[in-house]
Structure 1
Amino acid sequence: MDKDDDTHHSQSTDGETPKKSPPKQIRITNVAEFSPLTSPTGGRSVPNAADGDPSTAWTTGRFDNFPNFGNLGQRADGSGIVVDLGSVKKISRVEVQMYAGQTVEVLAAAPSASSPASLQDFPQRMSKLKDEGKRLRVNLNKPVKTRYVLVHITKLPPEGPNSYRGGIYEIKVFG
């Protein structure tokens, strides 16, 4: 019996922190295209980025010659999708399904922000800017408090010869 107790005891004190309950998905109340310097390019496809259907997508317009949105001045800050969680929440994970080959990062607005529209409005970095595959999963050791999360795209994948287009199939936020 002592041996069983020791085994059980060692399993509960193995130096690991106790398991937390798994993150719960947070309902997204609104979705908007991030296009800080000019008009949006995605039009009616914007809601597709968080509609629960990974077969539908928000897509950017097509840009010629350069993957950084055509190297156009009015597109210098890139594009992407801002999700509104309705009120400030603690975010511990963000999952994004998207076009492969995009350079992307995930940012959060300050908890006090209302209607953030520029890059400066998203000072909390949740992931590094890098080329991701079709799936991006951001797991945070320390939750971030925010109402608004930005999936920010700075470079698009090729669509054809000298043309580029990006997109997001689905964004999920967990707390």
Structure 2
Amino acid sequence: MIGSPEHFHQLEKSLARKLGIAAFQSGLQVLRNDRGWRENEISIDYIWMVTIDHSYSGEGGIFAIKYKESKFREKVNPGELVQGIFTNKDEISQIYTETGTTDLRGIFDFNLFEGSQGITLDGVSYTIRISGQNIDTFISLSNPNTDSWKKWEAEIWALGNRMALASGNKEMINLFQ
């Protein structure tokens, strides 16, 4: 079922494979080759993903991973922020990434208990996964209609739209318009 924790877990696995990381979580990760031998160790400061199920435009999402600078044997892993968008059904079918400089943690400044008495009918639902040093959470919401959630939603769509246009991918552009 779309939006369920099980569906989201499958997307996390798919995204981790596409990005070459061991798991969709923060902390130290050991990267192994196809023979199971240790090839590298990376450290993730934080990682987040927001999936979007838009009734009229399809499914996809947006994510960011903040890597810590680290060394493993002769390899030096830079501390960088990787941002991206993707389209999906059950697996991630298309992905676009870029190395960013904008720290996006500030967009997650919303009131979890704030709600609106009215309804909205824009047909959009979101699933949010955040993994950091002191947090590992999963949030599911539909049609946010309060000031703090609308601000969050505008930031997600602005970033997604910018990256979709940069990707030149019609499916991604259609999702984030």
Larger Rg belongs to: 1
Q: What is the TM-score normalised by the length of structure 1?
A: 0.28
Query: Relative contact order (alpha carbons < 8 A, sep ≥ 6): 1 or 2 greater?
Result: 1
Q: What is the TM-score normalised by the length of structure 2?
A: 0.28
